[in-house]
A and B are shown apart, each in its own frame.
Chain A
Amino acid sequence: MAEQLDQWTFVIAAYAVVIVGTLGMVAWSWIAMKRAEKRREETRRK
């Protein structure tokens, strides 16, 4: 190790970044898909 750092701070930071990034991407993609499919159904009904 180059210097004594609290290793857990880095571990928690890395896991937090991945959890937030992954969940955000999944939620965004799911909501965008549902919105687009709802819009398609609306144009079909009009």
Chain B
Amino acid sequence: MHGFANPARFLRIAKWLTPLCLLAGLVIFGAVIVYGLFYAPPERLQGETARILFIHVPTVWFGMAGWTTIALASLAELVWRHPLAALAARAAAVPGAVFTTLGLLTGSIWGRPAWGTWWVWDGRLTSFLVLLFLYLGYIALAGALDREGSNSRVAAIFGLVGAVNIPIIHYSVIWWNSLHQPPSISTSGSAMAPEYLWGMLGGALGISLLFGGVVLARMRMLLANVQAEARLRRKAMGAAEGLAS
């Protein structure tokens, strides 16, 4: 694990892994979209709108996985001071926020024909909306700290504290009355028909590759920015010393 914290080694691996993840993710997720739109059968009760679940459930999962990544990377930053951990946390924020937004939008679009409403303020939907606000707060905070060159540990602590919302989202449908159905997939099995289960798992695989590829791309971007800034600073200091002497 510590070996991967070396920026040069990370760049060597990320250089071929980034396009591979993105390309494989686009192909697999594209295939799931084609399956969902043209080949999946309509569901007995939900009809055609059940097709939305192939894209809604994976985006929701990776909205939550994004913050889990932030929390784990923040922990690594605080405990082991990995040089790349802070970059990993920042890199996971944007794809996490995008998938959270897509999960909220697709859920709302599904809810209108299925529940008769675009939105209800129940535990699941509200806690997931809170997750989006946490992402926006984290992105703003991390950006401000980076611009001012301040201590990034504040963002790491925010990342860890925000993780308390993840189990709340997961258990909200069990703890409170909700329009949202309880989990259909658990460690003991699945209540879904195989043609829906495999389509959804395919969607999750595609989105996980896209999530990984985007995180790697954003880590490479952040690392390149840090290295370029450091070089420019060194050159400016060298020029100032030359003028002084």
A residues sitting closer than 8 Å to B (CB atoms) are 1-3, 5, 7-8, 10-11, 13-15, 17-19, 21-22, 25-26, 29-30, 32-33, 35-37, 39-40, 42-44, 46
* Interface status of B116 (Cβ within 8 A of chain A): yes
CB of B29 within 8 A of CB of A17, answer no
CB of B213 within 8 A of CB of A26, answer yes
Please report the C-alpha to C-alpha distance between residue A43 and residue B49 in the assembled complex, in whole angstroms.
52
CB of B221 within 8 A of CB of A36, answer yes
CB of A7 within 8 A of CB of B48, answer yes
CB of A40 within 8 A of CB of B214, answer no
Given A8-B48, A36-B228, A46-B235, are A17 and B109 also a contact pair (CB < 8 Å)?
A: yes
Given A43-B231, A44-B231, are A1 and B113 also a contact pair (CB < 8 Å)?
A: yes
Given A30-B22, A33-B217, are A11 and B224 also a contact pair (CB < 8 Å)?
A: no
- Which B-chain residue is minimally distant from A38 (CB atoms)? B224
CB of B210 within 8 A of CB of A26, answer yes
CB of A19 within 8 A of CB of B33, answer yes
Q: A7-B113, A14-B56, A25-B98 are in contact. List 11 more A-B contacts (CB 8 A).
A: A1-B47, A11-B37, A11-B51, A29-B221, A33-B18, A33-B224, A36-B224, A36-B225, A37-B221, A40-B227, A43-B235
| Chain B residues with CB under 8 A of A13 | 109
In-complex Cβ contact of B95 among A3, A14, A25, A43 (8 A): A25
Q: A41 to nearest B CB, angstroms?
A: 9
Q: A17 to nearest B CB, angstroms?
A: 5
Cβ-closest 7 pairs across A and B: A2-B116, A36-B224, A7-B48, A40-B224, A33-B221, A36-B221, A29-B217
- Which B-chain residue is minimally distant from A35 (CB atoms)? B221
| Chain A residues with CB under 8 A of B168 | none
In-complex Cβ contact of B228 among A19, A26, A43 (8 A): A43
Tier of interface size on chain B: 35 or more
Given A1-B47, A17-B105, A36-B228, are A25 and B116 also a contact pair (CB < 8 Å)?
A: no
In-complex Cβ contact of A3 among B48, B116, B217 (8 A): B116
CB of B49 within 8 A of CB of A11, answer yes
0/1 string, B211-226, CB within 8 A of A gives 1: 0011001101110110
Please report the C-alpha to C-alpha distance between residue A36 and residue B232 in the assembled complex, in whole angstroms.
14
Q: List 8 A-B contacts (CB under 8 A).
A: A18-B59, A18-B102, A21-B98, A22-B207, A37-B220, A39-B225, A39-B228, A40-B225
Please report the C-alpha to C-alpha distance between residue A14 and residue B101 in the assembled complex, in whole angstroms.
12
In-complex Cβ contact of B49 among A10, A22, A32 (8 A): A10
CB of A15 within 8 A of CB of B55, answer yes
